[in-house]
Amino acid sequence: GDSVTQMEGPVTLSEEAFLTINCTYTATGYPSLFWYVQYPGEGLQLLLKATKADDKGSNKGFEATYRKETTSFHLEKGSVQVSDSAVYFCALENYGQNFVFGPGTRLSVLP
Amino acid sequence: GAGVSQSPSNKVTEKGKDVELRCDPISGHTALYWYRQSLGQGLEFLIYFQGNSAPDKSGLPSDRFSAERTGGSVSTLTIQRTQQEDSAVYLCASSLRGASTDTQYFGPGTRLTVL
């Protein structure tokens, strides 16, 4: 079946460092891909999404590009802030199927 | 071990009917969450259970929605008199203690379609 793999972390960075959180997937067909974020004490929020190959999702300085050739959807941000500390989930939704989430990656950004 | 499971995986119902969605959290996890994702929307928090404490129902969209958690384990989300806008994927998650530092593990979801 479909699956999502992402680096589990925790990832600890200094403020203004470059962030990459890797995400790869296995799926039949052409799934939609998502990054969700959970800030401390809050529920999940959609961060960005891409629905077809080569689409780039972006929000709040974060970007991820749907790479079908490498089945990847890596999350990047050029300069992280302390307020970016959260758990990040990569997920896919295949047409007619339900969501498949990765295990989540905890990010801690130190001042 | 086994992850979070949900049933049914898909549910099609007629407007006005009641539906029950089930979630089996990871064994030993005291916190359980319900979310939903409507078409084109982000995840919407619905309700949170932590141990034997009163649940946080702040996310329930109307009084047609209710949830219970029996014996601190299995949870059932009930939607009464379903409406077409209730169509969504309903996701359940559990975590060890419900602390903000805990990772939430998600089930596969139940896709609800209200005709």
Are residues A43 and B106, on separate chains, in Cβ contact within 8 Å?
no
Which of B48, B59, B108 shows the shortest C-beta gap to A99?
B108
CB atoms A87 and B103 under 8 Å: yes
More confident residue, B7 or B108: B7
Contact B104 A44 (CB under 8 A): yes
Q: In this predicted structure, what is the pLDDT of residue A96?
A: 54
* Pick from A36, A41, A103: CB nearest B43: A36
- Closest-approach residue (CA) in chain A for B113: A96
**pLDDT score at B43:** 67
Whether B54 has a pLDDT exceeding 60, the answer reads: yes
Residues of chain A in contact with residue B103, where contact means CB-CB under 8 angstroms, are 87, 103-104, 106
Contact A44 B43 (CB under 8 A): yes
Q: Are A99 and A2 in contact (CB under 8 A)?
A: no
pLDDT < 70 positions in chain A: 41-43, 95-99
pLDDT digits (tens, 9 = 90+) for B8-30: 989 999 999 999 999 999 999 99
**Tens digit of pLDDT for each residue in B75-111?**
999 999 999 999 998 999 888 877 655 667 888 889 9
Residues ≥6 apart with Cβ < 8 Å to B52 = B72
Q: Is the pLDDT of residue B40 over 60?
A: no
The nearest CA of chain B is from the CA of A75 a distance in Å of 17
Report the residue of chain A nearest B110, measured CA to CA.
Answer: A98
**Does B59 contact A at CB distance below 8 Å?**
yes
- CA distance linking residue A61 with residue A52, whole number of Å: 21
Give residue B45's pLDDT band: very low, low, confident or very high (50, 70, 90). Answer: confident
Residues in chain A: 111
- Residue B39 pLDDT: 67
pLDDT at res. A11: 95
Decide if B45 and A44 are in contact by the 8 Å CB cutoff.
yes
Using an 8 Å CB-CB cutoff, list chain A residues near B104.
38, 44, 87, 104
B37 CB within 8 Å of a chain A CB: yes
- Which of chain A's residues have a Cβ under 8 Å away from the Cβ of B43? 36, 43-46
Model pLDDT, residue A66: 96
Q: What contacts B104, CB < 8 A, 6 or more positions away?
A: A38, A44, A87, A104, B31, B33, B93, B94, B95
Tell me the HSE value of B96 on the side-chain side, using a 13 A CA sphere: 5
Quickly state the pLDDT bin for B42 (edges 50, 70, 90).
Answer: low
pLDDT of residue A29: 83
State how far the Cα of A42 lies from the Cα of A50, in Å rounded to an integer: 24
Length of chain B counted residue by residue:
115
**Locate tokens 């649940």: which residue?**
B55
